[in-house]
Chains A and B, each alone.
Chain A
Amino acid sequence: GQQLNQSPQSMFIQEGEDVSMNCTSSSIFNTWLWYKQDPGEGPVLLIALYKAGELTSNGRLTAQFGITRKDSFLNISASIPSDVGIYFCAGQPQVSYNNNDMRFGAGTRLTVKP
């Protein structure tokens, strides 16, 4: 199935800076998920969103389910070196060709300089 458009592809920031990344789709979604993946490891779920307009925080992370239901963003505040990794979004379309249709972004590679 069509994958999600995730941007930016990579980010290089200074420790303490805030970070923002987003995912968009051409169709309506009813679930948005954000994951972090360290090199050579499996993705770990950060935040799950199930309702349009929903804004959810997990520590320094905040994610929102866009009102149009076609996008979502993830913010990281006051970044620290252990935030380094690949962040990717996933979502479930409202209209799917099967009951297990999950789409994925290609990921945002975050580098944090001390």
Chain B
Amino acid sequence: DGGITQSPKYLFRKEGQNVTLSCEQNLNHDAMYWYRQDPGQGLRLIYYSQIVNDFQKGDIAEGYSVSREKKESFPLTVTSAQKNPTAFYLCASSIDLRPGTGNTIYFGEGSWLTVV
């Protein structure tokens, strides 16, 4: 099936530990994104990538890092510098989102990260 696969679904992080969330898509989309979702708030953009080997910071990039070595993969690392990492993380992809292209964005199933 075509789609976006995130793993793991649930992840627990100890204080001072880095953890990595995986995101893989087989939609042949150029652009990929990571969003953070907190209760009662709209999605907030962490990082995005429009093309392999290139990525840009979103609105809340501090404490996070990404890589885009392959078109289909966009892993997110939550570093120990992120002081409040407990949240639901969503990976997404699109053909591209240049204004006027009329494209749309599709989401993975999400990953829960909890600090213990």
Contacts and interface: CB of A to CB of B under 8 A. Distances in A.
The answer on A and B forming one complex is yes
Interface of A: 1, 3-4, 6, 30-31, 33, 35, 40-45, 48, 50, 88, 90, 92-96, 98-107
Interface of B: 4, 6, 31, 33, 40-43, 45, 48, 50, 56, 59, 88, 90, 94, 96-100, 102-110, 112
A78 to B, nearest CB: 27
A99 B99 contact: yes
B104 A48 contact: yes
Nearest 4 A/B pairs, CB to CB: A104-B42, A42-B107, A3-B42, A50-B102
B104 A45 contact: yes
Contacts of B110: 40-42
Main secondary structure of the interface of B (DSSP, over half): loop
Contacts of A48: 104
Contacts of B50: 99-100
A34 B112 CA distance: 23
A96 B42 contact: no
Contacts of A3: 41-42
B97 A42 contact: no
B42 A92 contact: no
Contacts of A41: 109-110
Contact of A96 (B43, B45, B99, B103): B99
B40 A106 contact: yes
Contacts of B6: 42
Contact of A103 (B31, B41, B42, B109): B42
Most buried by B among A42, A96, A99, A101: A42
Given A99-B96, A102-B97, A31 B102 contact: yes
A99 B109 contact: no
Contacts of B109: 41-42
B112 A40 contact: yes
Contacts of B31: 100
A92 B103 CA distance: 10
A112 to B, nearest CB: 20
